[in-house]
Amino acid sequence: MKPVNIGIVGLGTVGSGTFNVLNRNAEDITRRAGRAIQVTHVGARRDNPAADTSGVTVSRDVTEVISDPAVDIVVELIGGVTLAKELVLGSIAAGKHVVTANKALIAEHGNEIFAAAQAKGVNVAFEAAVAGGIPIIKAIREGLSANQIQWVAGIINGTGNFILTEMKEKGRAFDDALAEAQALGYAEADPTFDVEGIDAAHKLTILASVAFGIPLQFEKAYTEGISKITAEDVRYADELGYSIKHLGITRKTSAGVELRVHPTLIHNSRLLANVNGVMNAVMAMSDAVGPTLYYGPGAGAEPTASSVVADIVDVARALTTDPDNRVPHLAFHADTLSDTPILPIDQITTAYYLRLKAKDTPGVMAKIATILSDSGINIESLLQKEVEVDHGQVPIIMITREVKESRMNDALKKLEAEDDVVGSVMRIRLEQLDG
């Protein structure tokens, strides 16, 4: 079969990684794909010493890759959403297949992009957009195609997981662990995108769509970061048998789809609680298979390139497929996507970890328990740190049973209005993730 010609746009970390993997493993990739897959054109505003492009056409004007008639598949690795969107839509208009690692682009503009691709009969593949080197899109979209998926929960930001792992293993404060992540190159100088959960929300938005067959709805994702988690929360959680992880969770209920990124207590006996450092993992619960979990590196040049190249091989195979009989972009055929609503965060149901400071007076615990009980909230377990009395205040840590968040919000208002409760109540959601 004739070789497939690849045009790579963007020669940064992932671009050079993709270039190098395609070259280094050309023989094995050809044995698998049944045809050579060769990079014939690179669009990059500057050279990258990590990739030796000698012998390959290099254009400083990246749009030349798209207009190159010899290029079969355009690999968009330029990042951002503005130029990247133009390039992807331009490639589709030119009848070229696209592979991208761009989670923001897919989460925010994927509906438009996939519609354009379908109209043109081309594929847009995006395995590398979620959880780096883990083949999670393939697993959910194809591996679980027999199932009604019930929920997907994942550690899908390595920076945040590194920080929380450092906090747990070394008792460090958030700022201190963040500084370490920055020193090691895991976190950007401005870490907002990672630690406030925006990056994870992009990925979760994509996971929700392929799991449930709903359009991409990034703007409806609830996003809460980890920057307010304290070393004492991490320690108290551990005393109760839990780890705090920054999870993306999407769950289909009879009322709608939950779509939320936030710090989450997970029992230490769960595999997800034991995914440490920069590693990612995604767990899916489905009606036929039950729980499955997928683990691996969520970022980095070659892990991400691994997914980009897997997509390239898939697209190369799809070149001879009836376009109507391919794996649909969002797992379900476009005309069957569901309008199931995304639930506002106050409509989700979950358990909670609560930490508050109370005056060390008789009956204070009874008052607190009564407020919760009057709101229909049951306490599952309790830590009262009498030994930590400080200025007449004692920390109280509770884990509640599951309750609707709006009800919890009401109870928190009442608790914070109570004279014997000092300051605000720390509230972290807790998930069982049974299985």
Site string for a copy of itself, 102-141 (x = CB under 8 A): -------------------------x-----xxx--xx-x
Q: Looking at 69-77, 289-297, 354-362, 412-420, which segment touches a copy of itself (CB under 8 A)?
A: 289-297
Q: Which of residues 255-274 bind a copy of itself (CB under 8 A)?
A: 271, 274
Min dist. Cβ of residue 242 to a copy of itself (A): 16
Q: Does 61 bind a copy of itself (CB under 8 A)?
A: no
The DSSP code sequence of 6-61 is EEEE--SHHHHHHHHHHHHTHHHHHHHHSS-EEEEEEE-SS--TTS--TTSEEESS
243/165 Cα distance (integer angstroms): 9
Q: Looking at 299-307, 372-380, 385-393, 412-420, which segment touches a copy of itself (CB under 8 A)?
A: 299-307
Q: Which of 188, 287, 374, 390: binder of a copy of itself (CB under 8 A)? A: 287
Min dist. Cβ of residue 60 to a copy of itself (A): 27
Dihedral angle over CA of 37, 42, 48, 53, nearest 10: 60
- Provide the phi-psi class of 273: left if phi over 0, else alpha when psi is between -120 and 50, else beta: alpha
Q: Does 216 bind a copy of itself (CB under 8 A)?
A: no
Q: Which is nearer to a copy of itself, 234 or 301 (CB)?
A: 301
Both tokens of residue 316?
């190369």
Buried b (16+ CB within 10 A) or exposed e, 343-374: bebeebbbbbbbbbbbeeeeebbebbeebbee
Q: Does 306 bind a copy of itself (CB under 8 A)?
A: yes
Per annotation, catalytic residue among 85, 203, 245, 357: 203
Tell which residue, 324, 313, 406, 331, has the closest CA to residue 130: 331
415, 356 contact by CB (below 8 A): yes
Q: Does 295 bind a copy of itself (CB under 8 A)?
A: yes
Tell which residue, 149, 167, 164, 270, has the closest CA to residue 214: 149
Q: Which is nearer to a copy of itself, 338 or 378 (CB)?
A: 338
Has 2 been annotated as catalytic? no
Min dist. Cβ of residue 169 to a copy of itself (A): 11
Give the H/E segment covering residue 429: strand 421-431
Other C-beta atoms lying within 10 Å of the C-beta of residue 240? 19
Q: Which of residues 312-351 bind a copy of itself (CB under 8 A)?
A: 313-314, 316-317, 319-322, 324-328, 331-333, 336
Amino acid at 387: V
Tell which residue, 431, 428, 432, 430, has the closest CA to residue 224: 428
Q: Does 240 bind a copy of itself (CB under 8 A)?
A: no
The packing angle between helices 198-212 and 103-120, to 10°, is 40
- Provide the phi-psi class of 85: left if phi over 0, else alpha when psi is between -120 and 50, else beta: alpha
115/329 Cα distance (integer angstroms): 10
Site string for a copy of itself, 25-44 (x = CB under 8 A): x--xxxxxxx----------
Q: Which is nearer to a copy of itself, 82 or 320 (CB)?
A: 320
Q: Which is nearer to a copy of itself, 316 or 377 (CB)?
A: 316
Q: Which is nearer to a copy of itself, 9 or 149 (CB)?
A: 149
Q: Does 150 bind a copy of itself (CB under 8 A)?
A: no
Q: Does 424 bind a copy of itself (CB under 8 A)?
A: no
Amino acid at 144: L
Min dist. Cβ of residue 248 to a copy of itself (A): 18
CA distances (Å), 13 to each of 5, 10, 357, 358, 368, in order? 21, 9, 47, 50, 52
Q: Does 169 bind a copy of itself (CB under 8 A)?
A: no
Min dist. Cβ of residue 279 to a copy of itself (A): 8
247, 266 contact by CB (below 8 A): yes
Catalogue the E-assigned strands of 149-256: 149-155, 222-223, 242-252
Q: Does 288 bind a copy of itself (CB under 8 A)?
A: yes
Amino acid at 43: G
Q: Looking at 88-96, 145-153, 245-253, 413-421, which segment touches a copy of itself (CB under 8 A)?
A: 145-153
> Backbone phi, then psi, for 354, in 5-degree steps?
-120, 135
Q: Which of residues 184-203 bind a copy of itself (CB under 8 A)?
A: none
**DSSP reduced 3-state for 381:** strand
Q: Does 277 bind a copy of itself (CB under 8 A)?
A: no
Q: Which of residues 64-93 bind a copy of itself (CB under 8 A)?
A: none
Q: Which is nearer to a copy of itself, 206 or 368 (CB)?
A: 206
Binding site for a copy of itself (CB under 8 A): 1, 17, 21-22, 24-25, 28-34, 127, 133-135, 138-139, 141-148, 213, 271, 274-275, 286-297, 302-303, 305-310, 313-314, 316-317, 319-322, 324-328, 331-333, 336
The residues that are catalytic are 203
